[in-house]
């Protein structure tokens, strides 16, 4: 089995982050590539996640992670 790189995105109440995992027969390594704020926005008197800001943070983090087309073979996103 050869090694592989996968990315994980975690979107939380106050911040988001992008992590890269390198996995192989004798290897397990996790590296945080970017952490970014999740600042709520007020739209018509209601509080919402800033979806455009989160999108920008995720894409910036994936670029830092060496995202497509450079070799990531998987991506998972959690917005729990």
Per-residue model confidence as pLDDT tens digits over 2-46: 888 999 999 999 999 999 999 899 989 999 999 999 999 999 999
Residue 68 has a pLDDT of 59
Assess whether pLDDT exceeds 80 at residue 69. no
- Tokens linked to 40: 């709520």
Q: What is the pTM of this model?
A: 0.83
Our CA angle for 7, 62, 31, nearest 5°, is 50
Q: Which residues contact 34 (CB under 8 A, 6 or more apart)?
A: 17, 18, 57, 60, 61, 64, 65
Residue 17 has a pLDDT of 97
Residue 58 has a pLDDT of 95
Q: How far apart are CA 7 and CA 66, in angstroms?
A: 9
Residue 76 has a pLDDT of 94
């Amino acid at each position: 089995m050869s090694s592989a790189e996968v990315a994980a995105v975690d979107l939380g109440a106050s911040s988001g982050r992008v992590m890269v995992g390198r996995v192989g027969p004798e290897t397990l390594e996790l590296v945080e590539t970017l952490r970014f704020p999740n600042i709520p926005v007020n739209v018509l008197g209601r509080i919402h996640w800033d979806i455009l800001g989160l999108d920008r943070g995720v894409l910036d983090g994936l670029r830092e992670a060496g995202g497509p087309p450079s070799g990531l073979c998987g991506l998972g996103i959690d917005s729990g």
